[in-house]
């Protein structure tokens, strides 16, 4: 859990509306998520038509919406932009099976311009209901969460100045993404089902590849800042020297 979470504290139920194109997953979400004590599933639908989604969101006024699609593409981001314009305070979660390059490029722009919580995850990366619950809470708190694989796509679609992140392995990039979300080493190890010492080795490798071992007094903070800046999650004007 993020470091500022308070396990055991009473939390108001989050109203969640689910739109999932795949019937099997739709049924799974509807069977499992209502059992979560902090989630109130106010509706489930297989109709992802933008007008239909907007109509239901207007009627239900949920705190967050989960959109499940087979392909992250240009039209998907256009739909997200429409939803965000009409519902600026809504937490948005997008779960996708596949994605294309154009969709990734537009995702980068949407992420940069988003002032509220949003999450983009590949469906195969989710294997526990608790993962979705954590993401739902995160987006309603204003956090931005991106799947590490999608993040690689953002990096590849970005400017040449982000190429230093390409030196990281897939696992190192994944660890760095969890660090950027505020997770401690022990929690990252638990999420990735590995030994904490393995996470420490990955982090030391990250520091080395990003030249943080000798060039920064606070390598963890500096690495996270570089990551957020490179992926568009930290505007240029917000960058500070650490």
**Could you tell me the CATH number of the domain that includes residue 164?**
3.40.50.2300
**What confidence category does residue 161 fall into, taking pLDDT thresholds of 50, 70 and 90?**
very low
| 81-90, 189-198, 228-237: least confidently modelled range | 228-237
The predicted structure's pLDDT at residue 72: 79
Q: Residue 56 sits in which domain range?
A: 1-150
- Could you tell me if 138 and 171 lie in one domain? no
Instruction: Give the span between the Cα atoms of 59 and 64, in whole angstroms.
Output: 14
The predicted structure's pLDDT at residue 1: 43
**DSSP-derived secondary structure for 43-81:** EEES---HHHHHHHHHHH--SEEEEEEEEE-HHHHHHHH
Tell me if 64 is assigned to some domain.
yes
Tell me if 242 is assigned to some domain.
no
pLDDT in tens, 109-135: 676 655 578 888 888 778 788 889 989
- Could you tell me if 49 and 143 lie in one domain? yes
Q: Total domain count for the chain?
A: 2
The predicted structure's pLDDT at residue 9: 47
| 1-10, 106-115, 188-197, 210-219: least confidently modelled range | 1-10
- Could you tell me if 71 and 167 lie in one domain? no
- Which pTM does this prediction carry? 0.62
More confident call, 155 vs 186: 186
């Amino acid at each position: 859990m993020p470091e500022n979470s308070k396990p055991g504290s009473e939390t108001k139920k989050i109203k969640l509306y689910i739109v999932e194109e795949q019937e099997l997953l739709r049924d799974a979400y509807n069977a499992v998520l209502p059992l979560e004590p902090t989630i109130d599933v106010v509706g489930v639908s297989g109709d992802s038509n933008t007008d239909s989604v907007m109509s239901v969101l207007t009627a239900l006024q949920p705190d967050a919406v989960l959109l499940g699609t087979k392909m992250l593409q240009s039209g998907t981001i256009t739909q997200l932009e429409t939803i965000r314009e009409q519902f600026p305070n809504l937490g948005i979660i997008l779960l996708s099976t596949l994605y294309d390059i154009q969709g990734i490029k537009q995702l980068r722009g949407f992420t940069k311009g988003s002032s509220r919580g949003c999450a983009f995850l590949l469906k195969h990366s989710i294997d526990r209901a608790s993962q979705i619950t954590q993401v739902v809470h995160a987006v309603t708190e204003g956090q931005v969460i991106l799947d590490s694989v999608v993040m690689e796509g953002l990096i590849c679609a970005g400017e040449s100045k982000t190429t230093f992140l390409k030196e990281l392995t897939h696992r190192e990039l994944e660890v760095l993404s969890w660090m950027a979300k505020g997770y401690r080493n022990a929690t990252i190890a638990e999420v990735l089902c590995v030994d904490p010492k393995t996470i420490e080795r990955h982090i030391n490798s990250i520091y080395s590849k990003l030249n943080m071992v000798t060039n920064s007094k606070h390598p963890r903070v500096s690495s996270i800042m570089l990551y957020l800046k490179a992926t568009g999650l930290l505007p240029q004007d917000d960058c500070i020297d650490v």
